[in-house]
Amino acid sequence: MMRRRSDTEFSFAPSGLADFPSATHGLRPFGRLRAGCGLHSFAASRLAQSRPLYPFARRVLASLLVLVFIGLLPVGSWAQGGGQLRFCLRAEPKTFDPLKVEDDASVSIRYLTGGVLVRLNRQTQVLEPELAQSWKVSKDGRQISFKLRAGMSFSDGTPFSAEDVAYTVRQLMDPALHSPTGDAFRSAPGNVETKIISPNQISVTFPAPVAGLDRLFDQVAILSAHSAKKEMAVLGPFVVADYKPGTNVLLKRNPNYWETDTQGRKLPYLDSISLDIQPNRDVEMLRFKRGEVDLINSLDSEYFDKLAVTSPQLVHDAGASLDSEQMWFNEVAKAPLPTYKKNWFRSAAFRRAISQAINRDDLSRVVFRGHAQPAVGPFSPANKFWFNSKLKPAVYSPEASLKALQAEGFRLENGALKDRGGNDVVFSIITNSGNKYRERMAVLIQEDLQKIGIHVNVVTLDFPSLIERMTQTFDYEAILLGLTNVGLDPNEEMNVWLSSSENHQWNPQQKTPETAWEAEIDRLMRAQASGVDAKKRKESFDRVQEIVVEQAPFIFLVNRNALSAVSNPVQGASPVILHPQTFWNAERMTVGAK
Amino acid sequence: MKTGRRLACLVLVLVVGASLAAGWLAPPGYAKQYREAAGAAPSAQHWLGTDEIGRDRFARVLYGTRISLLLAPAAALLSTLLAAVVGGLAGYVGGVWARVAMAVTDLFLSLPWLFLLITVRALLPLNVSPLVSVMVTFLILGALGWTSAARVLCTTAATLRGSDFVCQARASGIRGARLFWIHVLPNLKPVLYAQFWISIPVFILSEANLGILGLGVAEPMPSWGSLLRELEGMVSVSEEPSKFVPLILLVVVVTAFQFLLSRQEEVAA
């Protein structure tokens, strides 16, 4: 097995000496290391027979010889023998073409194989140079210039130059390709121009300002313009070596990877990464426990706690992630709901009162076993730059909630809340069947709202039925779902916040904003999207967050923690909240190395 | 075999009795959340511990048993009646009617049940109380589960129609509904009983399957199906044996029904 081989490779020094008696000839004191380092008995006996030297001189000579021996080894051999890292993909990767990537499995493979110009450091959330030594965004936010590292080549040996960057950008922005990565760059209609200034310098000009332009290049893996291997020639630390559909993807070290560590050793350390396609999380967990996989990303809180009992050193809780769980009411004017219910749902006071009556601490503590944080607003505090720190979590208070509802004309009669028209306040919350956390949250909310006389029916539906009600028929009252955020920039959520968007879930595809606050959100989102001054963009989005909290179109419930597990033989892992949590620094990780 | 049947009867009486006495045996009820004791191990206060959101598992098992055991026979009765009407009449009348009825039955048999149930469940109104959702779930099961029984009854009724005693009755001038009521139906009864008893465990298991998919009885009301969902996942299987109680009950009850069923089959034969 690859892994066993790597173990022996890392203990090269002693066995190398054992097979090299002439190198140690005359160094009798080395015999003392025999037991510990496995010196061959023949070599040891020769050492014992040699003429004694002065102790100090012997030590110096021995040290020098060891250093000379190490120096004779090729630098790369230090980096080799990092072992094989094994973990599971939860679905089949749909493509290896980095520009067409959409699904999580393909994103993971792109991350490990693709060379990007700039890389967002998943730990510090700061952009760092990769293939580009430096870069500059123009003041108008339309142009970005890169100065590339020299002397690099793709995994198949094809040299890398600015021509490859120009080729990649042309492919990326080709409307016929329908690249999801490319969509993020399309701020306005028009052509994207690339200008090769020199083999190592290039500028890319967009028809309109693109907010967070440099960060978007974190997702753009550079393709070779000349390689016959096309997208399989990569600049990242690993290269796809084998793919067995439905079973496994094997990545091997890219021998031409450009990066070295601080001591000049070539990266990556790992020999290979084996990615087993395993949708069943129980099986993934069992295999982890048996030592057949080394990492688990996005661990369930139940599994986390069980593992923490037996092997606390294996589990990592990186704190609140970017993912949120939220509920919202149907505010669509044409929804097939009674008018009085539409009036409740379209009332910000009603929505705020509901928000106030939900015990988020209990949701975090009971449902997620403490591995979630009560949500504050649209962005998680984990998003260090964009989170509006002035916002505070909603304080749970059924009394205040009831008071607010009474101020709106609701009244409590025999334990049941009634509106002005005498209608019982009853509504249903739909969530997707099979998601036990959401079902449990809905049941807790059901009991919380019962305390203020609201009767909630919890309905679980299969996902396609739920989506149809949510996007086509609008035949629902409230929905509880989650939002997975992979990006940090609010620009990536334009499709949620613009009132004209299809994903403006509470009231999508509005021709003109139906409320003043939605109009303001539209204006602020467009302002931040077209701005390049990060401070001004932040001010705009801070205000968006405040409006969302004030109006509560989404009632944000919790931000789940980023939980992961890393097996003992893995070294160098430092799980973070951003995708890919556990293997973001795979090129610096080793398995089974000493 | 007699002892086995007696034992089965005793088990069923005990289980049904305990479930009917749920209000007395577990006064806090199935919905009360002890959030401070979520996922607690069995104790003097919570005999079978609490579930993940702190509800008393013993109370939920008792109420869940009540729901599954009372409504599965109701669904079985509905399906048996439908089978008697469609299959019995088709077999008795024969000819075009029988061919049409059996074609419809075959069509129903060829439907992908699970997807049909999921679709029907998705089309139902959302704002229904948990009690209504329970009844709707079993109504759907009953309304869709008559087909196999209808085929058996059709064949039996067709055999009876050509039997000597029916011919003799016809020769004596007895016709139509009277002939069916006096001579055919009494001879169909053992088959009907057998089909009824067969259907009960089938519906219990069907509801359990729906529950495991999260499409059965609505929260917070428990049923065996929703309780069995606690066994999802390796974590539950490897630990917390109290979670196995609904599964053990399901196996015991279905086995008890099978013992009783053997008697019905003997009678039918």
Q: Which member of B38, B118, B126 has the closest CB to residue A459?
A: B126
Predicted confidence at residue A59, as pLDDT, reads 61
Nearest to B219 among A281, A282, A446 (CB): A446
Q: Tell me: the pLDDT tens digits for A97-124?
A: 999 988 889 999 999 999 999 999 999 9
The model's confidence at residue A376, banded by pLDDT at 50, 70 and 90, is very high
Mutate which of B52, B133, B238 to disrupt the A interface (most A C-beta within 10 Å)? B52
Please give the DSSP secondary-structure letter assigned to residue A417: E
Q: For residue range B219-252, what is the model confidence (pLDDT) as tens digits?
A: 899 988 888 888 876 565 667 788 889 889 988 9
**Residue A317: what pLDDT?**
96
B99-130 per-position pLDDT tens digit: 999 999 998 888 887 787 777 777 778 888 88
Task: Examine the pLDDT at A10 and tell me if it is beyond 50.
Answer: no
User: In this predicted structure, what is the pLDDT of residue A62?
Assistant: 59
Q: Are A366 and B239 an interchain contact pair (Cβ–Cβ within 8 Å)?
A: no
Angle at A108 between CA A102 and CA A111, to 5 degrees: 100
Q: What is the pLDDT of residue B15?
A: 94
Q: Which residues of A touch B214 (CB under 8 A)?
A: 433-434, 439, 460
What's the pLDDT score for residue A47?
Answer: 38
Chain A residues within an 8 Å CB radius of B33: 443-444, 447
Residue A77: its pLDDT value, please?
Answer: 40
Question: Which pLDDT score is estimated for A53?
Answer: 46
Of A191-205, B75-89, B131-145, B251-265, the least confident: B251-265
pLDDT at B236: 57
pLDDT of residue A348: 97
State ipTM: 0.83
Q: Is the pLDDT of residue A11 over 90?
A: no
Contact B129 A444 (CB under 8 A): no
Whether A346 shows a pLDDT value over 80: the answer reads yes
Average per-residue pLDDT for chain B = 86
> pLDDT by residue (tens digit) across A457-511?
999 888 888 999 999 999 999 999 987 777 788 888 888 899 998 889 999 999 9
Beta-sheet pairing, A315-329 with A295-296: unpaired
- Find the CB nearest A462 among B118, B128, B233: B118
Given a cut of 80, whether residue A363 has pLDDT beyond it is yes
Neighbours of B158 (CB within 10 A): 18
Mean pLDDT lowest among A34-43, A159-168, A180-189, A343-352 = A34-43
Hey, how many other C-beta atoms are within 10 angstroms of the C-beta on B220? 22
Beta strand pairing call for A84-89 and A272-277: parallel
Q: Is the pLDDT of residue B85 over 50?
A: yes
Answer yes or no: do B234 and A285 touch at CB < 8 A.
Answer: yes
CA distance A396 to chain B (A): 15
Q: Which residue of A has its CA nearest to B123?
A: A465
Over chain A, what is the mean pLDDT?
86
Q: Do B214 and A434 touch (CB under 8 A)?
A: yes
Contact criterion met (CB < 8 Å) for A457 and B126: yes
Residue of A nearest to B114 (CA): A462
* pLDDT score for A493: 85
Position A85 pLDDT exceeds 70: yes
Q: What is the pLDDT of residue B176?
A: 83
DSSP per residue over A45-75, as a string?
HHHHHSPP--HHHHHHHHHHHHHHHHHHS-H
- The 8 Å CB, 24+ separation contacts for A40-44 are A43/A17, A43/A18
Cα–Cα distance for residue pair A588/A580, rounded to 1 Å: 14
A interface with B, Cβ–Cβ below 8 Å: 281-282, 285-286, 302-303, 306, 362, 365-367, 369, 426-428, 430, 433-434, 436, 439-440, 442-444, 446-447, 457-462, 465, 475-477
According to the model, what pLDDT value does residue A347 have?
A: 97
Q: Which of B35, B218, B234 sits opposite A458 (nearest CB)?
A: B218
**Residues A525, A490 contacting (CB under 8 angstroms):** yes
Q: How confident is the model at residue A17 (pLDDT cuts 50, 70, 90)?
A: very low
| Res A78 pLDDT > 70 | no
Phi and psi at residue A372, to the nearest 5° = -160, 160
List the structure tokens of A431.
């969530």
pLDDT at A66: 54
Residue owning tokens 């080549």: A153
- Reported as a pLDDT band with limits 50, 70 and 90, residue B206 is confident
Segment B145-163 shows an average pLDDT of 91
Residue A129, both tokens? 């140079």
Q: Is the pLDDT of residue B20 over 90?
A: yes
Instruction: Check residue A75 and give its pLDDT.
Output: 41
Nearest chain B CA: its distance from A447 CA (Å): 8
What is the pLDDT averaged over residues B125-136? 82
| Partner residue facing B38 (CB), from A366, A447, A477 | A366
Q: 3-class DSSP state for residue A479?
A: strand
Task: Determine the 3-state secondary structure of A589 from DSSP.
Answer: coil
Q: Do B54 and A365 touch (CB under 8 A)?
A: no
Please give the average per-residue pLDDT across A336-352, as a whole number: 97
pLDDT at B130: 81
Overall average pLDDT of the A41-64 stretch: 49
pLDDT tops 70 at residue A340: yes
Cβ contact, residue pair B213, A465, below 8 Å: no
What is this structure's pTM? 0.81
The confidence band for A14, taking pLDDT boundaries of 50, 70 and 90, is very low
Which residues of chain B are within 8 Å of residue A430 when distances are taken between CB atoms? 126
